[in-house]
Amino acid sequence: MRVNPNMVPDILADLQQSQAAVNTALQEVATGKSVEVPSDNPVAAADMVQNTIETANVDQYTQNVSSMLSMVQAAGSSLGSVVTSLTQAISLGTEGANGTNNTSNLQAIASQVQGILQTVVSQANASYLGTYLFGGTENSSAPYTASSSSPSGYTYNGNNNVNSVAVGDDMNVQVNLPGSQIFSNSSTDVLGSLSSLVSALQSGNSSEIQSATSAVTTALNYVSQQQVFYGNAESQLNSQETYLQQETVNLTSQQSSLVDVNEAQAATDLSQAETANNAAEAAAAKVLPDTLLNYLVPTQ
Amino acid sequence: MIVQDRNSKLEEYLQLLRSMAFELERAMSAISVNSIQGLEDSLANQEAFSTRLVELADDLSGPVQKEPLAVRGSADDDLLQRVRAASNELQSLNRRYSALLKYSSRSVAMMVSLFSSYEGQIQEVSGPRLKLQTWSCQI
Amino acid sequence: MPDLTAMGGLNTSLLIGMQALEVSQGALNATSNNIANSNTPGYTREIPEISESPETISGGVVSGGGVSLNGLESVRDELLNLQIQQQTSAQSSADTESSALQEIQTNFSTSGNDIASAFSAFSSSLAQLSANPSSAAAQEGVITSGQNLAGAFNTTANALTTEQSAMNTQVTQTVAQINSLTQQIAQLNGQVSQLTADGQDGGTVEDQRDELVQQLSQLTGISVTQSSDGEVITTGNGTPLVMGSQSYSLQTTTGSDGMQHVLDSNGTDITTTLQGGQLGGSIQIRDQVIPSYLTQLNTLASQFASAFNAAQAKGYGSNGVAGQNFFSVPSSGAGAAAGITVSITDPSQVAGSSDGTAGSNGNVANLSAALTNALPSGQTPSQAYANLVFQVGNDASNASTQSTAIGQNLTQLTNQQSSVSGVSIDEETTNLIRYQTAYEAAARIVSTIQQLGTVTLDMGSTQSY
């Protein structure tokens, strides 16, 4: 077959293709990504849509876990203080019931217990970053306020509802118990038991003081049980934190395999493409007339 | 050691993927310049590569014992990523090659029909130049 | 008058005007002499036996060695010209589609302003609200990211309609160019006939005409034949463009869809019959590809808006008022993506609460579920969008692949055209057999490689024994 007198269009086509390869390789090295547009890898591009959304979610869930951890820890520690206060109240009540106290002693003890009640109420009104911890979902104002009409002297302004916070795609963790359940429950009324103890001490009746004190003991056991909820929430959040860390690694790794270009690989591609381009140009140089060569821009 | 074996197989697989890609380019160039010999040479290599690729693929895609990350190491993941990249590249070339083959073999089929069913009828037209020629063939 | 009866199932009959292989009078004479020689009485017997089997050559084309290919060569060259014309149209069409799709697909990359990025920001704003239901900042975050999502839909839809409009303009322009060319071609046909009738050489004029026909094939798919009155050019579907010295102009008119429709010289709408060339490619993008993308986008926008609004309605804003519509879309289904907006501005209208208190996040789970639950279409929002991204990317990739492959095929054909084989029929047929064998082998390997692709994807996924 004799030489094709129309070889020029072929060579230009070859050059254009090898130039395109150089450009692609250059872009890969510059951006570190091999999917710039969906046509680069349609399947990867589609997968990236999911990956993008999941990655953003996991980032937010991680933040949620962190802030909820702080919150449940704050609530748990408030209840810990309440347990301490109740323990104090019990020993005061025991002391008051031993029959060796005179009236003024009993008055003094009574006012100490009153002080403890006030402390417990302030614990019940604890807040974290501006949100009251024990008001249910009615948490923008103090759950317990003084009320003369209430037997315990305090009325509950919150509600009975709870929040569950999203910490995973299908995972919500309940993060609060309402005060009505913990402190002013009709079957075990913590605040009520304390104010009853105050009244009993003021009355001076030993057996009344005794039974009021054992009611506070019941209340203390109850609060300890309620504390378990927050302990459980904390460990749920902790293990979710570990899971999310792993998810982050997985998603990042997936993203890498979808779009990132291994730097060394990209550099190899680039030098191979450049070599091919140079070879094509060298071949062209041998065949093309000189004038045409002037129109070819070298890759360097 | 099992891990080493697998990695060296992956390396070979990677190299073959790249070699196959090179051969496809070579075959496409040969077709463009109508070099039947060039095409045949490339195909011989392609046959050899594809046989080995299929063997390795069978080997490498069987269930793998879950190894702790520490043992597998990041080198394995990096290698896999390069294999995937090379595979995507080859698939892309393969699609273009397949399209070119389709068009070229259609041309050949037309030529074959022409050669096998040509029935020429020459009609002389006065004047030194034009000769109208009528022919028909089954395509 | 020779018998022109065809053999068997005739698909194509080609009346060929002899063309010179080279533009020189000497070669011209030589070629016509060859043909003249081929008309001598013994010639047809010297031509290799006609095979009744059209599929392969082995049925008996080969005869004694050294038989000249000359007669066949001229026909083969015409066949080459035909293929070059067809592939020129095909490549031009693929190029047009490829350019349009390259433009379109930039709107679907994860650039930060695209729908995927917007969905992900919206999703995480809801997760943040879950942990901070009464925070005005968190509520604002939902509104802002909702507005960005609506904006991303708007932008993407507008980009599609803009490209559609560009294709529409191209249709008008291309038709004008086609008409200009057909008029010129007809005129040149007239000149050629006149020169022939006068006994003169019309070669130069023919070459000019052929160059214009080549240009025409870039604009639209054509079919070129010779009649006793001269050259006939029609569209691929048979609409006349040129008949000898007469040209037939196409017209454009605005259709009921607001787009430019192409009519033949009788006023018949031929838009859907046009394939190949810039015209065919533009019409394909304008009338098939883009509407398909828009439909998917509109469906997603309107279904998602409905789902989210329904979730709003299940809860309360932090102001205690029952949740209102968050998104608003145009009342008719069309244009949902272009017209979707956020209809609330007050942060307290974000319906995160399930009991009317500001501190409740009980409805946030419902809001998030609108993003993760299946829509009436059967897919979740992210699945639906991911599928669209895949489709756009795949279409763009295919158009580009086609364009390159056809380009290589064209190179091959023009190389064949430019070379003179000068070999015998024996050698030519042997080559053709070699090609067929090679292509069969190649096809098997293509198929193997394709299967390897799937297998390779699964490698490295670890499963325990």
ipTM of the complex: 0.84
**Model confidence over C185-210: pLDDT tens digits?**
999 999 998 998 888 888 889 889 98
Residues A144 and A152: beta-carbon distance below 8 Å: no
| Contact (CB<8Å) A1/B32 | no
* pLDDT computed for residue C146 by the predictor: 98
Residues of chain B contacting A, Cβ within 8 Å: 29, 32-34, 77-78, 80-82, 84-85, 88
Helices (H), ranges, C261-380? 277-284, 290-313, 336-339, 364-372
| Contact (CB<8Å) B33/C412 | yes
Query: Which residues of C, range 126-155, sit inside 8 Å of A by Cβ?
Result: 126-128, 130-134
Q: How confident is the model at residue A252 (pLDDT cuts 50, 70, 90)?
A: confident
* Averaged pLDDT score across all residues of chain C: 83
**Which two structure tokens, joined as six digits, stand for C416?**
């064949």
Cβ–Cβ contact B19 with C under 8 A: no
Q: Is the pLDDT confidence value at C245 over 90?
A: yes
* pLDDT computed for residue A257 by the predictor: 74
Nearest in space to C239 (alpha carbons), one of C189, C274, C282: C274
* pLDDT computed for residue C196 by the predictor: 85
| Contact (CB<8Å) C393/A46 | yes
Q: Which amino acid is at C328?
A: S
Contacts of A261 in chain B (CB under 8 A): 85
Cβ–Cβ contact C109 with A under 8 A: yes
Give the distance, in angstroms, between the CA of residue A134 and the centroid of all CA atoms in the same chain: 20
Q: Which residue of C has its CA nearest to A2?
A: C419
pLDDT-wise least confident of B15-19, C7-11, C378-382: C7-11
Q: How confident is the model at residue A8 (pLDDT cuts 50, 70, 90)?
A: low
Q: How far is CA C301 from CA A122, C162, C238, C325, C374, in A?
A: 50, 19, 42, 14, 14
Partner residue opposite A43 with nearest CB, options C365, C368, C390: C390
* pLDDT computed for residue A264 by the predictor: 52
Buried-state track C381-414, b at ≥16 Cβ within 10 A, e below 16 = bbbbbbbbbbbbbbbbbbbbbbbbbbbbbbbbbb
The number of residues in chain C equals: 465
* pLDDT computed for residue C11 by the predictor: 26
Task: Pick the more confident residue, C462 or C205.
Answer: C205
Instruction: Compute the distance between CA of residue C393 and CA of residue B55 in angstroms, rounded to an integer.
Output: 32
Contacts of B88 in chain A (CB under 8 A): 41, 44
Instruction: Compute the distance between CA of residue B57 and CA of residue C26 in angstroms, rounded to an integer.
Output: 61
Residues C98 and C400: beta-carbon distance below 8 Å: yes
Residues C351 and C143: beta-carbon distance below 8 Å: no
Chains in contact with A, counting 3 or more C-beta pairs less than 8 Å apart as contact: B, C
Count the helices and strands in chain A (H runs, E runs): 8, 6
Q: With the CA atoms of C345, C347, C349 and C354 taken in that order, what torsion angle do they form, in degrees rounded to the nearest 10? A: 160
Q: What is the mean pLDDT of residues C320-325?
A: 96
Q: Which residue of B has its CA nearest to A7?
A: B33
* Averaged pLDDT score across all residues of chain A: 84
CA angle B35–B41–B47, rounded 5-degree value: 130
What are the average pLDDT values for consecutive 10-residue runs of chain B, which has 139 residues?
76 92 94 94 96 92 58 65 87 94 91 68 42 50
For chain C, what percent of residues have pLDDT higher than 90?
68
* pLDDT computed for residue B4 by the predictor: 59
Contacts of A254 in chain C (CB under 8 A): none
Contacts of A18 in chain B (CB under 8 A): none
Cβ-Cβ contacts under 8 Å for C194 (sequence gap 6 or more): none
Residues C429 and C436: beta-carbon distance below 8 Å: no
Q: Which residue has tokens 């214009």?
A: C212
Partner residue opposite A10 with nearest CB, options C361, C372, C411: C411
Q: What is the mean pLDDT of residues A197-208?
A: 92
Q: Is the pLDDT confidence value at C329 over 50?
A: yes
Residues C322 and C370: beta-carbon distance below 8 Å: no
Q: How confident is the model at residue C232 (pLDDT cuts 50, 70, 90)?
A: very high
Contacts of A128 in chain C (CB under 8 A): none
Phi, psi for C342 (deg, rounded to 5): -95, 130
pLDDT-wise least confident of A285-289, B59-63, C394-398: A285-289
**Model confidence over C53-108: pLDDT tens digits?**
233 333 333 333 333 456 666 777 778 888 999 999 999 999 999 999 999 999 99
- HEC letters along chain B: CHHHHHHHHHHHHHHHHHHHHHHHHHHHHHHHCCCHHHHHHHHHHHHHHHHHHHHHHHHHCCCCCCCCHHHHHHHHHHHHHHHHHHHHHHHHHHHHHHHHHHHHHHHHHHHHHHHHHCCCEEECCCCCCCCEEEEEECC
Residues C318 and C350: beta-carbon distance below 8 Å: yes
Q: Which residue has tokens 């001229």?
A: C74
Contacts of B34 in chain A (CB under 8 A): 1
Instruction: Compute the distance between CA of residue B47 and CA of residue C453 in angstroms, rounded to an integer.
Output: 17
Contacts of A11 in chain C (CB under 8 A): none
Q: Which residue has tokens 């010639």?
A: C43
Query: Which residues of A, range 241-260, sit inside 8 Å of C by Cβ?
Result: none
**Model confidence over A116-163: pLDDT tens digits?**
999 999 999 999 988 999 999 998 899 999 999 998 899 999 999 999
| SS3 call for A155 | strand
Give the distance, in angstroms, between the CA of residue C358 and the centroid of all CA atoms in the same chain: 55
Partner residue opposite A262 with nearest CB, options B29, B81, B88: B81
- HEC letters along C159-189: HHHHHHHHHHHHHHHHHHHHHHHHHHHHHHH
Chains in contact with C, counting 3 or more C-beta pairs less than 8 Å apart as contact: A, B
